[in-house]
Structure 1
């Protein structure tokens, strides 16, 4: 038999770094190692009871068949009402797409719109999947480094310099994974002024963490800040992070009808529709009692404060206070060039992360996976006990360096 050769779209991408890290932690735990896992990018809370009950009721009522590609009328109404309450903008069902998680929606949006050579601007640090999604769909990722001096945020000057005649999309993620950075309304207006100069550039705003925000009021969407861009913005969101529903796999997007129609055409051939049971649960999440969000955000806030304070107390590490999401992006430049007790030199954030796993049994993800080094990402979507144990072990490991 001839040797199997994967398609080029497979060979030009890599496996998700966060998926790899989670798999490695599972392997080590299976071997009997006690690992302090600070990699997990999902809430450690259970899905709220009223949401689970809505799914149970849907099953018992026989709502287990195919639905429309664009979802049930109940879910459509819940999403459009939620989006309007958040953005102040009204969308119609023809401007709505629903998929098996926000990740699938982003992927199909790129699949529906990119041709070979089209460029996608991706500010770094970025969520690990963005560049590979672009590559898998024949596009060219244009990585724009956004360092601590700009709060890990894209500036108008950097955006203007990155745009070319081949630019098709800008991807903007806030609150950010991995930094927790959030754009102010004024910052979005400045970015919007640049985008208005380039009518062929669309913007995909990944707002999956929009409810996990530690500031006053609510975060501002680019579409709200610059309404003139409404017909060139695809707002992506879902129920995974805000409602602790990662395994339910339900995401959605609202945006230009022509873009949405292309996505839905692909969706009709990919998976027909999202799970009908998950749709019922998502409708209950978006339209029901929202107290879970308020309570969970306060828990995340206390965890964030403990993690940031503990990490900043470690000589050689520093960490900005994230404004949203449940991640901290830690500068480990003070550890680069040092030597471990075993005699190995730490030459990169990858080396440092491997040292923490080996010497301290703490699992984190290197910043190089997110496009900006030398950093590492921790998740504080875990218990205070785990966070404190992790910080203590990291401190001990850093002190052991020479």
Structure 2
């Protein structure tokens, strides 16, 4: 029996993640400095870990509601209201998921039919297009240009809308570019969307990680809440990547459809992670989210070091306003993004991600994370500078 022939065509057509290739190579080399992994280098705060340990000691090892623990949903509702001015009923408008990734997948599967189209800003997170394809629909890239600071513009959006357009994924603050959307930017997009029946899937996992101004959710704009599913989680802001806990907030009909898929495929998020998340929010309400603010200050310092470092070695580098990535241009080298990353890794033992891993518009760029120590950042930039001297 030829097992390979039994694999679904839509799965075969999706290539492996463009991020993993370089880190599989790097993992077998000694002395490599990686600027590639998109996760905080902070440990989950002790009070959060302790809450999880205590829950295990009490024997809390059972299923929760498909929707998530009521106490956690109430805390998420309060958090969204206090931090971003979003009002959601915890009873039927909030679903707790296994990471924000599951929430994105559920939202897409809940609304998509064959031949539907989903608009995705390009470049953006590697999982969006595969998730759309796995749902049997078509992913349509919307170019975001460096001259627009990688923001989604209304003219680019409008050019891609067709009668088949079902949804728009709005991933800001953005991975990989670090771009954000201001209130004015979002209102311009909303003016286009209000003339349509397009659903917005707003991935706001980096909402707490902005520099100079607070994140604004498109769901907070007039007439946009009903058509928007807000996706968020605990991975980035609370240094809880391995806990795999996210959530979706939106119209009861949309969230209800997502719960239907969730209950048959995942059932519920792990109770220990939910207990930990309750503690993370409880402490945040108590101390004004001091641990979050501390991380943001540290990231901001590293952000400035990395941006200035790339500019000093001769690479054009847009200043990111959110997340923890920079997206410098390597076009002056004449190499493709993938070629540059491969040669840099072999020559200088620095691992970065080719911009093309995030879409065709990422050609000519590399993604570098500053969720690393200042020493590692400085050493990596020094090595990249040495590499540039050899090839230019």
TM-score class, shorter: over 0.9
Higher mean alpha-carbon deviation, 266-275 vs 14-23, is at: 14-23
Q: Is the contact made by 1:223 and 1:230 (CA closer than 8 Å) also made in structure 2?
A: yes
Q: Is the contact made by 1:95 and 1:260 (CA closer than 8 Å) also made in structure 2?
A: yes
**1:348-359 aligned within 5 A:** 348-359=336-347
Ranges of 4+ aligned residues in structure 1 off by more than 4 Å = none
Shift of the alpha carbon at 1:388?
Answer: 0.4
Q: Secondary structure at the match of 1:189?
A: helix
Residues in 2 aligned to 1:63 and 1:98: alpha-carbon distance in whole angstroms: 17
Residues in 2 aligned to 1:87 and 1:293: alpha-carbon distance in whole angstroms: 15
Q: Is the contact made by 2:73 and 2:95 (CA closer than 8 Å) also made in structure 1?
A: no
Residues in 2 aligned to 1:99 and 1:20: alpha-carbon distance in whole angstroms: 28
Aligned to 2:329: 331
Aligned to 1:382: 372
Matched, 1:305 2:304: yes
**1:191-340 aligned within 5 A:** 191-198=189-196, 200-216=197-213, 218-224=214-220, 226-289=221-284, 290-315=289-314, 317-336=315-334
Q: Secondary structure at the match of 2:14?
A: coil
Q: Is the contact made by 1:235 and 1:254 (CA closer than 8 Å) also made in structure 2?
A: yes
Residues in 1 aligned to 2:210 and 2:20: alpha-carbon distance in whole angstroms: 25
Please, which runs of 5 or more residues in structure 2 have no aligned partner? none
**What TM-score, normalized to structure 1?**
0.93
Residues in 2 aligned to 1:168 and 1:252: alpha-carbon distance in whole angstroms: 22
Residues in 2 aligned to 1:330 and 1:89: alpha-carbon distance in whole angstroms: 34
Shift of the alpha carbon at 1:20?
Answer: 3.5
Residues in 1 aligned to 2:351 and 2:186: alpha-carbon distance in whole angstroms: 34
**1:44-123 aligned within 5 A:** 44-92=41-89, 93-123=91-121
Shift of the alpha carbon at 1:2?
Answer: 3.7
State the superposition RMSD in angstroms.
1.2
Aligned to 2:133: 135
Shift of the alpha carbon at 1:271?
Answer: 1.4
Q: Is the contact made by 2:26 and 2:345 (CA closer than 8 Å) also made in structure 1?
A: no
Q: Secondary structure at the match of 2:95?
A: strand
Residues in 2 aligned to 1:19 and 1:97: alpha-carbon distance in whole angstroms: 30
Residues in 2 aligned to 1:282 and 1:9: alpha-carbon distance in whole angstroms: 35
Residues in 2 aligned to 1:137 and 1:21: alpha-carbon distance in whole angstroms: 28
Q: Secondary structure at the match of 2:327?
A: strand
Residues in 2 aligned to 1:324 and 1:3: alpha-carbon distance in whole angstroms: 44
Count, aligned residues: 384
Q: Is the contact made by 2:69 and 2:274 (CA closer than 8 Å) also made in structure 1?
A: yes
Q: Is the contact made by 2:324 and 2:370 (CA closer than 8 Å) also made in structure 1?
A: yes
Shift of the alpha carbon at 1:248?
Answer: 0.1
Residues in 2 aligned to 1:3 and 1:157: alpha-carbon distance in whole angstroms: 46
Residues in 1 aligned to 2:210 and 2:313: alpha-carbon distance in whole angstroms: 26
Residues in 2 aligned to 1:279 and 1:136: alpha-carbon distance in whole angstroms: 28
Q: Is the contact made by 2:22 and 2:342 (CA closer than 8 Å) also made in structure 1?
A: no
Q: Is the contact made by 2:100 and 2:232 (CA closer than 8 Å) also made in structure 1?
A: yes
Aligned to 1:341: none
Shift of the alpha carbon at 1:17?
Answer: 2.1
Residues in 2 aligned to 1:176 and 1:188: alpha-carbon distance in whole angstroms: 14
Shift of the alpha carbon at 1:89?
Answer: 2.7
**What TM-score, normalized to structure 2?**
0.96
Q: Secondary structure at the match of 1:126?
A: coil
Residues in 1 aligned to 2:294 and 2:120: alpha-carbon distance in whole angstroms: 33
Q: Is the contact made by 1:39 and 1:378 (CA closer than 8 Å) also made in structure 2?
A: yes
Aligned to 1:362: 350
Residues in 2 aligned to 1:184 and 1:3: alpha-carbon distance in whole angstroms: 50
Please, which runs of 5 or more residues in structure 1 have no aligned partner? 337-345
Aligned to 2:7: 6
1:398 is matched with which residue: 384, 388, 391? 388
Q: Is the contact made by 1:9 and 1:137 (CA closer than 8 Å) also made in structure 2?
A: no
